[in-house]
Amino acid sequence: MAPRPVRPARITMPVSGSSPTLHRRARRAPRRFLERSLRGSGQVMFMNNPYTGLLNFVALGWGAWAGGTTWTVVLGAALGVLVATGAAQALRVERAARDAGLYGFNGLLVGAGIPTFLAPTPLMWAVLVFACAVSAGVTRALAELLRPWQVPGLTFPFVLTTWLVLLAADPLPGLATAALPQAGLAAPAVAASVAFGLADWVRAVLASVAQVFFVDDAVSGALFLLALALQSRRAAVLGAAGALLAVAAALALGAERAPVVHGLWGYSAVLTAVAVGGVFLPPGGRTLALCAIATLFTVLVQGATLTLAGTLGVPALTFPFVLGTWLVLLARGRSESA
């Protein structure tokens, strides 16, 4: 995901330059294109590292093999990052951002999200390719829109593009829905007493990490954490801690047990914790405190987005992460940079 190269002194992890290259002498375009795409996969979790990106696909593959997602989703993810990376090239965006994979990760998520919710017809594949290409344009438009505040677009291009496609599926039955939540008016849920053992906690935390990629599987979650640790152990620890805090908060606030175990209350918090705690702010105690507050705020926004998106019949996606992280980056204000 997108540590856009602004305020470079504040970015605490190596974003470019010092990160390993797959083929040091690879001058050939196809290899460079592949490396950019793998970095795009790594950037879903802010890692400008092709090996992280590769391991993410191993985790996706494990998820499909273990039944936590489908091979269609894995194929969509691969296609998505390739198409978006190519579209950014056609759009002639600045090369540094392309090289760092910053135009690929939203495409990967669009490509994984569409077959998670729509049935895999030929028409779906056509719309998927179109939407992944458009996501590169949305990424660029959003970068332009956010320029006055020097705040990154994060996964908002993915959220916006995927919401548009899923909302359009209702009046366009050529896009057959497979697993979309049914639209329903907001109604208070009933609190149930919940037994939640150690195994549930472990599964909920790891599934939260995996659900960033639409995978519902604990082993995949562990592999995604490992991929993070390849580049930054700090980020891996923060991601797991963010998931733990989100699971605890959701349970304390009475959330239904099943979605918690499946990681649906934690995936946005994982991203917020890594972004706020490990990527965009300087390390230190103050950052850790802000990171905890932002993670808890993300859980509240997750609940609000569930109600809002549920009324329209679409999933929440990672909008809570985007709102929570934008809030912190904007609230930080100018005082710190002065």
Q: Which is nearer to its own copies, 47 or 109 (CB)?
A: 109
Q: Which is nearer to its own copies, 145 or 199 (CB)?
A: 145
Counting residues that bind its own copies (by CB under 8 A) gives 73
Q: Which is nearer to its own copies, 106 or 232 (CB)?
A: 106
- The region of 17-25, 59-67, 72-80, 126-134 touching its own copies under the rule CB under 8 A is 126-134
Render 106-156 in DSSP notation, one character per residue: HHHHHHHHHHHHB---HHHHHHHHHHHHHHHHHHHHHHHHHGGGT---TTH
Q: Give the span between the Cα atoms of 67 and 65, in whole angstroms.
A: 6
Q: Which is nearer to its own copies, 26 or 176 (CB)?
A: 176
- The region of 74-82, 176-184, 198-206, 270-278 touching its own copies under the rule CB under 8 A is 176-184
Among 70, 89, 177, 287, binds its own copies (CB under 8 A): 177
Q: Give the span between the Cα atoms of 15 and 226, in whole angstroms.
A: 18
Residues 278-337 that bind its own copies (CB under 8 A): 293, 296-297, 300-308, 311-313, 326-328, 330-331, 333-335
Helix locations, the chain, DSSP H: 29-43, 50-66, 71-90, 95-99, 105-117, 122-146, 156-168, 198-211, 218-231, 233-252, 257-261, 267-274, 285-312, 319-331
Q: Is position 122 an interface residue for its own copies (rule: CB under 8 A)?
A: no
Q: Which is nearer to its own copies, 34 or 261 (CB)?
A: 261
Q: Which is nearer to its own copies, 8 or 333 (CB)?
A: 333
Q: Which is nearer to its own copies, 110 or 228 (CB)?
A: 110
Residues 2-41 that bind its own copies (CB under 8 A): none
- Single-letter code of the amino acid located at 145: L
Among 23, 253, 283, 284, binds its own copies (CB under 8 A): 253
Cβ-count burial of 223 within 10 angstroms (0-12 exposed, 13-18 middle, 19+ buried)?
Answer: buried
Residues 78-107 that bind its own copies (CB under 8 A): 91-94
Q: Give the span between the Cα atoms of 166 and 315, in whole angstroms.
A: 9
Among 185, 195, 198, 258, binds its own copies (CB under 8 A): 185
CB of 177 to its own copies, least distance (A): 5
- The region of 10-18, 44-52, 69-77, 144-152 touching its own copies under the rule CB under 8 A is 144-152
Q: Which is nearer to its own copies, 223 or 260 (CB)?
A: 260
Among 20, 186, 233, 337, binds its own copies (CB under 8 A): 186
Residues 146-175 that bind its own copies (CB under 8 A): 148-149, 163-165, 167-175
Q: Give the span between the Cα atoms of 118 and 176, in whole angstroms.
A: 6
- How many Å separate Cα 68 from the centre of its chain? 17
Exposure string over 121-139, b if 16+ CB within 10 A, otherwise e: eeebbebbbebbbbbbbbb
Render 218-243 in DSSP notation, one character per residue: HHHHHHHHHHHHHH-HHHHHHHHHHH
Among 9, 29, 187, 195, binds its own copies (CB under 8 A): 187
Cβ-count burial of 250 within 10 angstroms (0-12 exposed, 13-18 middle, 19+ buried)?
Answer: buried
